[in-house]
Every structure is written in structure tokens, then in C-alpha cells.
Amino acid sequence: MTSHTPPAPATPDHPLTAPLVDTLRADVPAWPARVAFIGAGPGQADLITMRGAQRLAGAQVVLVDALTDPALRALAPDAQWIDVGKRGFAHATGQAAINALLVEQAGLHPRVARLKGGDPSIFGRLEEELQAVQAAGHAVEVIPGISAAQAAAAQTARPLTRRGHGRSVSLSTAMTQLGRLQVGRSADTEVFYMAGRQLPALAAQLLAAGWPAATPALVVSRAGWPDARVSTLTVADLPTAAGLHAGRPAVVTVGAGAADGRCAAPVDGPDDGTDPPSDA
């Protein structure tokens, strides 16, 4: 197993510099909806999209997740910030309470932001919140963000898809709604969210699902942050990374997307029809 903390990115201590914040706050576009669900990205504040930052800058009320960067508050210093964070195996605001708060605030203010870590549409409980707000008669907007799986792939330079042998990606939570670990083998690359405390059980179930013991595996905790920790190993060795990532939000990548691409032979010659042409 190889474990390390990648070099910190070349960003200032405060990733949202004062001139950038002033520019974003001075150029706030009209809000197209009563409630904006904004993806904050997986780590530092500067991973938010431009549109997300602009909507946040215009918000009167912000319902914010626990894993978002506090530096984002600089974009909306005059807004009311309400902490509705969820943390695995720790104190969390109930989903029904969050839904009720969203509806209440949307009835009081014309510009409400729901700031979610990562991408709102990926394991962000977006469906329940959309239904609650829309049932109350309020218009909504969803602004995408970078998800932890993408951040982990970027931070480790290990693409989730690979030409010829990594054509499918599956995103899964490590735990079901009933609190059970559920693992399968449905794609060339499988990414498991919220899996840091489940590594021994995850390894056992991956092996039971037919993944070879030597299959590449990658554990990244706090993806998108300067203090991210990375373990490159195999499915059989996943339990050995439990201590390094304890108490930290982690994603586990298994299969083609976890392999070190520098060790693979390049694919030359004309397309053989196994992959679609690149959009680049």
C-alpha cells in the first residue's frame, strides 16, 4: 500500500481573494427562482462554479451543509446563514427539519440558497428538498458542482474513465438507507461515497462480489482540500487504510479508475469502435 498527502495546490490561504469577492458581489445577476440549490464543490471555496458563486452572493438566506468551506461566507456576508449540516455517524439535522426550514424561508425571502457540498444531485438528498419546495409552490434552480469522485480523480491524476477498458462508472453510497453495506460489480470503475469507516467490510464484500483481490483501489479522504490523504492499494489491502482515513470524509475508487495510468501501455492506432469519439 502507498499512502501520502498530495502537495497543496498553489492557492492562497484564503482561496477567495478580496478582488474576486468584490467582483462577484458587484455583478449579481437576477435570480430566476425562489430557491437556488448550489453545489459548493468538494473542498476549498474556489472549487465552486462561477454561477454558484454569483447566486450565493445574491442570497438573503443560506442553508449550509457541514462540509462546505467557511470561506464561502465572504460571498454573502450580509445573508442569514443557517447550519443544517449532516455528518456521518455524528450529529445531523434531520431531513424533515431541513425541508421545513427551506419552505419556511422561501415563504419569507425571495432569494434563498441551499448550499450543498459537492454536487447537489449526487447523494445530496436533493430530491426530497426539491419536492418540499415545489409542493409549497416555489420555483427552484439547481446549480451543479464538482463531486468528490471527480475531485479525487483530479487530485490523484487517475481518470475515472479509460479508453478501451474503463468505459463505465458507478457511483454508490457505502451504506443503504437501512444502514447496511451493499456492494456489487456493475461497472469498470466503482466509486463508493461515505466509505471511510467501512473499509474492512467493503473489502470483504468486494471480494464476495467477484472483484479479484489484486484489483486496484484508491482511498481519498477530504478530496479537494490541501490536507487530502491518499492511499493507493488493492481491494484485498483496503482494511489497512482504515487508520489513516479515520474520522475523515472519504471516497473509495475501485477498478479501472483506480489504476496508475503511468504504468499502462498507451493505446495507439485507429479507433476500434469500443469507445465513442472524444468531445475535445
Catalytically active residues are: 65, 86
CA 157 to chain centre: 17
Q: Which cell numbers hold the place of 168?
A: 463505465
Interatomic CA distance for residues 129 and 146, integer angstroms: 20
At position 256, the amino acid (one-letter code) is A
Contact partners, residue 241, CB within 8 Å, separation at least 6: 1, 3, 199, 219, 231, 233
Parallel/antiparallel/unpaired status of strands 216-221 and 229-234: antiparallel
Residue 166, CA distances (Å) to 228, 256, 269 in order: 25, 5, 18
Q: Are 113 and 93 in contact (CB under 8 A)?
A: no
Those residues with Cβ within 8 angstroms of residue 33's Cβ, 6 or more apart along the chain or in another chain: 138, 139, 140, 141
- Quick check: 60 and 109 in contact, CB under 8 A? yes
What's the CA gap between 141 and 131, in Å, rounded? Answer: 13
DSSP string across 75-106: G-TTSEEEE----TTS----HHHHHHHHHHHH
* 18-26 and 50-57 helices, crossing angle to 10°: 70
